[in-house]
Amino acid sequence: MPYVNIKVTREGTTPGSKGVTPEQKAELIKGVSELLLKVLNKPLDATFVVINEVDLEDWGVGGLPVDEWRRRNAKG
């Protein structure tokens, strides 16, 4: 029985939003589950998907908080 944990930053994907929408989460759960069925023949009813939203200040990359990393790596 597969267990998939998806972690995303808690920030909106469109202006004014504060996180991942319930519809986006449902699409992720469906897509990951169907991929495991297709690739590994794992039944949908035995696949568990958990989505965790992490505050932006709790996420880092390249030794930096992600917002600072983004500023340093912004193209423009």
Active-site positions read: 2
Q: Could you give the C-alpha distances from 71 to 8, 9, 52, 56, 66, in angstroms and in order?
A: 19, 16, 24, 14, 9
The angle formed by the CA atoms of residues 5, 11 and 55, to the nearest 5 degrees, is: 65
CA distance 6 to 45: 18
